[in-house]
Amino acid sequence: MMNYTTIIQYVREQTANNNRPANYPFRDRFEHTMRVYRWAIKLQNKLGGDIEIVSLAALLHDIGWDENEEIPHGDIGAQMAADFLVEMDYDPRKIGRICEIIRRHEEQDTTDELSLECQIVMDADLLDELGAIGILWDAMATATTLGDEASYKQAYARIRQYYKINTPKRSRAKTAEGKREYQKRMDFVQSFIAQLERELF
C-alpha cells in the first residue's frame, strides 16, 4: 500500500522546483494537480478501472518539465515517476501503466485506443479550470494583465471569448462521463454570461 502523504509531498516539491513558468502568478501547479487528482477519483468511482493507477498517475502527471521545452514534459514526468516509484518499491507491474498515462496525458486529440485509466486521467486534466474556476481565472487574468485599466466589461469580454474557445473542446473528452461533466460546466458558464449581461448592460 502506497503512502500517499509521501507521494503528495514529493509532488509538492517537484511542482515547486521544476521551473515550469506559471501562466499567471495566481495559478498554482500543485493546486491544479490536486484538483485533477480529486476529479480523477470521482470519475473512477463512476467508470471503474484501477483506482491506484488512476490516483498515482493523476498525482504524478505534471511533475516533469524541461526548461528549454525540447523534451515533452510528459516524457520527463514519466521517467521521474518511474524512478520515484521504483525507489518506493512499488509494484513493477503497475509502474509501466502509470508512466504511459503520464507520458500521454496531453495527447487530447489522439484517436489511439487508450486504457480506461488513461482516459480518466486525461478527462480529469481537461476538466480542471473549466466552469466556475475558469470564470475566476478570466476575471483574475483580466485584473492581472490590465491592472488599473481592468473593468467588469473587459472581464466579461474575456469570459465570453474563452467560452467560445472552450465549447468545441468537449469532443476531446474520452469518456461519456467526462463529456457530460464538460457540458455541465459549459452550461454553467453560459448561464453566468447571460446573468452578467443582464446586470452589466
76 shares a domain with 42? yes
Domain membership flag for residue 102? yes
Distance CA 131, CA 106 (A): 20
Domain membership flag for residue 144? yes
92 shares a domain with 140? no
Domain membership flag for residue 194? yes
CA 118, distance to chain mean position in Å, is 13
pLDDT of residue 1: 66
pLDDT of residue 21: 81
Domain membership flag for residue 157? yes
Domain membership flag for residue 116? no
Distance CA 172, CA 179 (A): 8
Find cell 484517436 and name the residue.
Answer: 111
Domain membership flag for residue 165? yes
104 shares a domain with 18? yes
Stretches where the chain sits below pLDDT 70 are 1
pLDDT of residue 71: 82
65 shares a domain with 16? yes
pLDDT of residue 74: 87
Distance CA 30, CA 16 (A): 7
Entry pTM: 0.94
Number of domains in the chain: 2
176 shares a domain with 84? no
Residue 79, C-beta contacts closer than 8 angstroms, at least 6 positions apart: 64, 99
Domain membership of residue 182 as a residue range:
132-200
Q: Which of 108, 143, 173 is the last residue of a domain?
A: 108
pLDDT of residue 72: 83
91 shares a domain with 11? yes
19 shares a domain with 68? yes
Domain membership flag for residue 124? no
159 shares a domain with 70? no
Three-state SS string over 115-175 comes to CHHHHHHHHHHHHCCCCHHHHHHHHHHHHHHHHHHCCHHHHHHHHHHHHHHHHHHHHHCCC
Question: pLDDT per residue over 187-198, tens digit each?
Answer: 999 999 999 999
Domain membership flag for residue 41? yes
138 shares a domain with 73? no
104 shares a domain with 56? yes
